[in-house]
Amino acid sequence: MRRKFGSLAKTTAVALAVLASGFALTAPASAAQPAAVTAGVAAPASTAAGIRFTWNSDLHSGDCTLFHGASWTLNPDGTASFDGTVTSSDDNDAWLMWVHVLDRNGAELGLLGNTFPDTPDGNEFAKNLPDSSLQYRWFATGHFPAGWYGLIGTLRMDFHC
């Protein structure tokens, strides 16, 4: 019993350290997919158009990089827009992401929906990266129930390449 408690305490300490850093690995959705990476976002900035969430560091997964400065803006009418630049060091890759909307207490309200989905998953945003010598500017449009707007505290993004 004592050994199990020590292992549990060590696991809990590691998990808290990972959460405090703002990054964590999650289990893959299936054996065929690589693990998704989760990136936390600091407090939002209010703009005339809505609430803007900006990633202040590069995000990496596999051969892919989403550059710092990528941002989501959520509007009171339930629309959302993304602006970011992504690349890969390998040809024919794709950046995939899912955006979780959280309230001010960190409780999940739900996922942003992709207004123009190009995969079977209506909550997935995908950007094809055919040429490793190029950086791709990416604009995406999403949506969420407008009733969430007054509750929004932060976003969490799961992604993989």
Does residue 16 sit within a domain?
Answer: no
Cα 86-94-137 angle, rounded to 5 deg: 30
pTM across the whole model: 0.73
Q: What is the 3-state secondary structure (H, E, C) of 10-63?
A: HHHHHHHHHHHHCEEECCCCCCCCCCCEEEECCCCEECCCCEEEECCCCEEECC
pLDDT for residue 19: 35
Average pLDDT over the chain, rounded to whole? 80
pLDDT for residue 79: 97
In whole angstroms, how large is the CA radius of gyration of the chain? 17
Per-residue pLDDT of the chain (161 residues; tens, 9 = 90+): 444 434 333 333 333 333 333 333 232 233 333 344 555 554 566 666 799 999 999 999 999 999 999 999 999 999 999 999 999 999 999 999 999 999 999 999 999 999 999 899 999 999 999 999 999 999 999 999 999 999 999 999 999 99
pLDDT for residue 48: 66
pLDDT digits (tens, 9 = 90+) for 67-77: 999 999 999 99
pLDDT for residue 143: 98
pLDDT for residue 49: 74
- Distance in angstroms (rounded) separating the CA atoms of residues 127 and 140: 9
Is-contact 126 86, C-beta < 8 A? no
CATH number at residue 111: 2.60.40
Total structural domains within the chain: 1
Domain with 80, as residue range(s), is 23-160
pLDDT digits (tens, 9 = 90+) for 97-132: 999 999 999 999 999 999 999 899 999 999 999 999
pLDDT for residue 2: 40
Does residue 18 sit within a domain?
Answer: no
Does residue 17 sit within a domain?
Answer: no
Does residue 154 sit within a domain?
Answer: yes
Does residue 13 sit within a domain?
Answer: no
pLDDT for residue 41: 57
pLDDT for residue 70: 96
Does residue 51 sit within a domain?
Answer: yes
